[in-house]
Amino acid sequence: MNVMRKFMTLSILIVTLTAVWWLAGLGGVATKSEVPASVAVPDVVDDPEAKPGNLVLEEYEAFFVEYRLERDRVRGKELEMLNGMINNPEISQTGKKQAEEQLLALVETMEKELLVENMLKAHGFADAVFFYRGRIANVVVQAENLKDEEFMQIAEMVSGVTEVKIEEVTVVEHSGP
């Protein structure tokens, strides 16, 4: 069980470091580039007349897509590992119970992330990603020159969903060209 905790801690650290690397490397500076063919980009069509095959993402837009894809990959591995532990007959009942609790916590976190991201989009932000792990809440919004009121509005939304104090919510603006 101790090995599994170390593995999960290492996975979380890798995801966090990747997010920090992206934020530091792209923070406010964007250049035009196409998303590599190896990156699967979901088709989102706001205009029914638009042709999705002609979409070109800017680097700052690709950040949001790539982060979600990486988060989904990591979460998939976490879910698979926890389900494997729950279904493993060699794991004790205590171990299974802990795995079930971690699975429920992971699902709750996923729901909160999805809720916050969709709430921010509904409030007019072009895109957003939400990082939530162990009472730490960080939001990256696709915006430029956010006003103090907008920062507070975002912090209040996150606080309402996660029950994290407003002072513990970090909001980062990620602007385009």
Say if pTM beats, i.e. exceeds, 0.75: no
Q: Whole-number mean pLDDT of the chain?
A: 74
Residue-range definition of the domain harbouring residue 118: 2-173
Residue 130 in 3-state DSSP?
A: strand
Question: Tell me, what CATH number does 19's domain have?
Answer: 1.10.287.4300
What pLDDT score does 26 carry? Answer: 38
> Mean pLDDT over residues 2-21, rounded?
53
* Of residues 136, 149, 139, 148, the one with CA closest to residue 119: 139
Task: Judge contact between 129 and 139, C-beta under 8 A.
Answer: yes
How many structural domains is the chain composed of? 1
Nearest CA to 140 out of 18, 47, 37 is that of 18
Whether the CB-CB separation of 67 and 17 falls below 8 Å is answered with no
Q: What is the pLDDT of residue 175?
A: 76
Whether 25 shows a pLDDT value over 50: the answer reads no
CA–CA separation, 71 and 19 (whole Å): 10
**Residue 53 to residues 34, 42, 110, Cα–Cα distance (Å):** 12, 11, 30
Q: What local confidence, expressed as pLDDT, does residue 64 receive?
A: 87
Token reading at 53: 């095959």
